[in-house]
């Protein structure tokens, strides 16, 4: 997508938010949700997981709280008074990169949002169980941490070339032919994962485990949405669908 800025990897400050031996302050989560009952349930559950939680009920207050509290992760409702979740996400991300878990009302909204590349890292459709929310939050934190580790391990590694595709892992940049293509963090991780095993076909479950760090297979639709987004940006011919199995790169 033109005009989408390269998206640096957020860094998380501490390693074990719930480890009682860790004297450092807990990781901070900002919850922006205008349904008070849901916001409170999410906050209570996340506090139970050892996070420090701030709750805001509208867009402008959410943006202000992100500036004030510098959260490690944001749980962000899409439909909000003031600015909607897209605008909140843009404003928060313009200030500093922070992982965002977006709450949507319908599955097809997620498809649309992935295509818009608003900078959210993951999506959860309402209604969801608190167990699912907590699993996603932990997975997102693990994923961001691992991406940061991979990026630092890849410093100085020359770009990988597959046909006219060039993947620079250390700079987290992608070119196809002469054009630089701006990917969101999750799109980059998905492409990099496929490119690590360019001859292989990976199942949706494998991609969920390796890119999203989800243990269960409930989110295979998420994989499909992000593959669609990659095809829109990189061309329809780069990633092939192997029906009934999964996805692989089309190698020359
Ligand atoms: Ca709402």
Distance 228 CA to ligand 1 centre (A): 26
Q: Which CATH class is domain 155-249?
A: mainly alpha
Q: Round to the nearest angstrom and report the end-to-end CA distance of the chain.
A: 25
Is residue 33 within 8 A of residue 77, CB to CB? The reply is yes
Cα 32 to middle of ligand 1, angstroms: 9
77-111: pLDDT as tens digits: 999 999 999 999 999 988 888 899 999 988 778 77
Ligand 1 geometric centre to CA of 41 (Å): 14
| pLDDT single digits (tens) 29-59 | 999 999 999 999 999 999 999 999 999 999 9
- The domain spans of the chain are 20-149, 155-249
Selection from 182, 195, 194 nearest residue 232 by Cα: 182
What percent of the chain has a predicted confidence (pLDDT) above 90?
54
Residue with the bigger pLDDT between 107 and 135: it is 135
Query: Of 237, 197, 239, 203, whose CA–CA distance to 219 is shortest?
Result: 203
Q: Enumerate residues 6+ apart whose C-beta is below 8 A from 134.
A: 45, 46, 49
| Nearest alpha carbon to residue 77 among 28, 128, 145 | 128
Bridge partners of residue 161, in order along the sequence: 166
Q: Which helix (H) or strand (E) holds 17?
A: none
pLDDT, position 181: 93
CA of 105 to the centre of ligand 1 (A): 8
**What is the reported pLDDT for 223?**
87
Residue 56 Cα to ligand 1 midpoint, Å, equals 12
CB under 5 Å of ion ligand 1: residues = 34, 77, 79
pLDDT band at 4 (very low <50, low <70, confident <90, very high): very low
Name the CATH architecture for the domain at 20-149. Answer: 3-Layer(aba) Sandwich (3.40)
Per-residue pLDDT tens digits for 221-251: 788 888 988 998 999 999 999 988 899 998 8
Strand bridging mode 52-56 / 100-104? unpaired
pLDDT digits (tens, 9 = 90+) for 152-201: 888 888 999 999 999 998 888 999 999 999 888 888 999 999 999 988 99
* Interval between CA 106 and ligand 1 midpoint (Å): 12
46 CA to middle of ligand 1, Å?
A: 19
């Amino acid at each position: 997508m033109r005009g989408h800025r390269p998206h640096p990897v957020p860094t998380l400050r501490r390693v074990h938010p719930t480890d009682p031996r860790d004297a450092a302050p807990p990781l901070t989560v900002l919850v922006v949700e205008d349904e008070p009952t849901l916001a409170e349930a999410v906050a209570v559950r996340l506090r139970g997981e050892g996070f420090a939680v701030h709750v805001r009920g509208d867009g402008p207050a959410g943006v202000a709280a992100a500036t004030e509290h510098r959260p490690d992760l944001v749980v962000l409702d899409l439909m909000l008074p003031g600015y909607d979740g897209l605008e909140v996400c843009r404003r928060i991300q313009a200030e500093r990169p922070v992982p965002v878990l977006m709450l949507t009302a319908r599955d097809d909204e997620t498809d649309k949002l992935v295509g818009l590349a608003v900078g959210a890292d993951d999506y959860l459709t309402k209604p969801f169980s608190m167990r699912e929310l907590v699993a996603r939050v932990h997975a997102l934190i693990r994923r961001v941490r691992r991406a940061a580790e991979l990026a630092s391990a890849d410093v100085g590694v020359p770009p990988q070339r597959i046909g006219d595709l060039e993947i620079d892992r250390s700079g987290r940049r992608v070119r196809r032919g002469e054009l630089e293509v701006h990917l969101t963090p999750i799109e980059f991780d998905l492409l990099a994962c496929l490119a690590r095993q360019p001859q292989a076909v990976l199942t949706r479950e494998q991609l969920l485990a390796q890119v999203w760090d989800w243990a269960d297979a409930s989110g295979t639709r998420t994989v499909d949405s992000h593959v669609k987004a990659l095809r829109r940006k990189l061309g329809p011919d780069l990633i092939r669908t192997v029906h009934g199995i999964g996805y692989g790169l089309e190698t020359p």
